[in-house]
Structure 1
Amino acid sequence: MSSAPRPTARRGRGRPSSPVLTPDGITAAAVRLLEERGQDGLTMAALARRLEVAPSALYNHVATKQDVLRAVQDHVNRGIDCAGFATLPWDEALAAWARSYRGAYARHPALVAVIAVTPVRSAPHTVAMYERVSAGLLTAGWPAEEVANVVVAVESFVLGSALDTQAPPDIFDPGDLADSAPAFTAANAARPAGDTAHAAFELGLDALLAGLRARLGRLGG
């Protein structure tokens, strides 16, 4: 004799077994909003709509927009490689860090303007990155009062170069103004084909490192 089919169990009315919102999910949605709409387009209400939850549910996980921006900053910065400061000479480690840093923000160029002015407090991966870089520079003989300026100088160059990766190929084409700028027009025409943003980055990085080496030498390091 066949047994009667068992009734399908109904889901209880209690809370779901896993949370609807997670830190990674909130951060990923915030990254997408920033890339699509910029910082003005990232509001807590817009983020809640993107996550398909009520704003009150979102506020259970993040208190302010600034908290969201710090989470985005930490999400991107955790992928930047600064391990070279443990094994390489300081200038080689700085170059490797700069290349990795540029790569991270070249993938998220819309975040540059936001991250560049977001305080690092409560961003553990970001603080850990700066700690490793600072410790490496101090060990190499850089005076403590110079270290933050070295970091900012490299970051300023790197973030600008990350934006340059998005420039159109004809950004330096003067068009109808070519006759009024013959030197600039000739220089642009003579620029080698290929990844011009990468070539400019490497040239600038070499110059920056040469200047830093010379400065450290003058400082007696």
Structure 2
Amino acid sequence: MGVSARRGAPLTIDEISAAATRLMDEGGPDAMSMRKLAAELNVNPMSLYHHVESKEALLALVCTTSVLRMPLPQDDGSPWQEQLRAMALAYREHARQHRAMWAYAHSRPELIQDRNFPVWATLHRILRLAGVPEPEVQRMGDVLHTFVTGFIVAETECHLTNDPEEMDRTFDTAIDLIIRGLANRQTGG
């Protein structure tokens, strides 16, 4: 890892990711370039290629590291219903904070279906707490992910309402329906 004469410190992958996330939040993936990122980091554009091989690799890095920074509910003994609600709210807030990155990632399934991401492990843990049988955990996680993702797409495309308070109430209703549905599966009702 070389040191830039302009920076005086080695460039790190965390710096690259954080700066690229800011640029993507501001202008989306089409507005980001290796040159703009290099200027943001005060390095020669070629320095970036020691860490990422292309703009596409950079965008994948942004998506991956952003998901890793999403706050997830801990296994703190709270009821699964509270943990599932906290996870859904964190996921929605993450999508709101990083709309361009979120849209980019969800247009490329290979970026979001990595089962090694902590988001999947957390969702699966919560589903097990909810009593979902082990053979159904992954499928149920996929269904819930699709449901919440669809809601967020409808929200960001203004298909539901433009009123933020009404949107919050609508999202709460959606999460209530998910929780009740899971609870009914558990009791056989």
Q: What is the TM-score normalised by the length of structure 2?
A: 0.73
How far apart, in 1, do the equivalents of 2:159 and 2:112 lie? 31
Change (3 A) 1:80 1:217: same
Counterpart of 1:129 in structure 2 is 119
1:8 alignment partner in structure 2: none
* Deviation readout 1:60-91 (Å, 9 max, x if unpaired): 122344543343232344232221x4412323
User: How much has 1:203 moved relative to structure 2?
Assistant: 0.9
Which protein is bigger by CA-based radius of gyration? 1
1:1-221 to 2 correspondences below 5 Å: 17-19=8-10, 21-73=11-63, 74-83=65-74, 85-116=75-106, 117=109, 118-119=111-112, 127-162=117-152, 164=155, 167=158, 171=162, 195-218=165-188
Shift of 1:119: 4.1
Secondary structure at 1:24's aligned position in 2?
A: helix
Gaps of 5+ in 2: none
Percentage identity across paired residues of the two chains: 31
CA RMSD for the aligned pairs?
A: 3.5
Name the CA shift for 1:36/1:78 in 2 (closer, same or farther; >3 Å): closer
Deviation at 1:58, TM superposition (A): 0.1
Distance 2:61 2:81 in 1: 30
Structure 1 unaligned blocks of 5 or more: 1-13, 172-192
Deviation at 1:128, TM superposition (A): 2.6
1:109-136 deviations in Å (ceiling 9; x for gaps): 2222123331465x9xx72332233234
1:38 touches 1:110 (CA, 8 Å); kept in 2?
yes
Q: How far, CA to CA, are the matches of 1:167 and 1:16 in structure 2?
A: 43
- Residue 53 to residue 17, structure 1, CA distance change in 2 (3 Å): closer
- Structure 1 129/67 Cα, relative in aligned 2: closer, same or farther at 3 Å? same
